[in-house]
Amino acid sequence: MKQFSWTDDLRTGNPLIDGDHRKLVTLINALFKAMESAQANDALHKAMNDLIAGTKEHFGREEAEMERIRYVASLAHESEHAKLTRQIVELKAMLDSGGRINTPAVADFLSEWLRAHIVTADMKLAAALKQEARAA
């Protein structure tokens, strides 16, 4: 399975956001590795728990920044966050109940979602944060 690659087009220019995104890429790749290997379910569950925790932590930081600057697109952005969080929590619940996952489909979904979210929603947020910093 192909790992998620960090590329320059994903750089928002905001050190906090970019640092979090790099961490999410690492967590997603750890999940991919656990899904792909014949490791015990414990490794897969740990990778999933780590991804959920890292995602919630990152989204919380972004949402705090949106609130701080009174970001006009915060509701739509937070809605995207909530939807992804719900989807990965549901995926974990399915795993916890003994269900099997379609590894390539999950890998494609997570990679495509993160890339699309960064280059659209997060780039706009980073620009708004930069503009707010200049105005301060």
Domain boundaries, the chain: 8-135
Question: Does the pLDDT at position 38 exceed 80?
Answer: no
pLDDT digits (tens, 9 = 90+) for 17-37: 999 999 999 999 999 998 888
**48 and 56 Cβ atoms separated by less than 8 Å:** no
pLDDT digits (tens, 9 = 90+) for 57-71: 999 999 999 999 999
Helix 103-117 × helix 74-96 angle, to 10°: 160
Output the pLDDT for position 39. Answer: 56
User: Closest Cα partner for 17 from 69, 61, 55?
Assistant: 61
User: 132: buried, middle or exposed (CB in 10 Å: 19+, 13-18, 0-12)?
Assistant: middle
Q: What does residue 37 show for φ and ψ, rounded to 5 degrees?
A: -85, 170
CATH of 8-135, one of 1.10.10.10, 1.10.510.10, 1.10.620.20, 1.20.120.50: 1.20.120.50
pLDDT digits (tens, 9 = 90+) for 71-128: 999 999 999 999 999 999 999 998 888 888 888 899 899 999 999 999 999 999 999 9
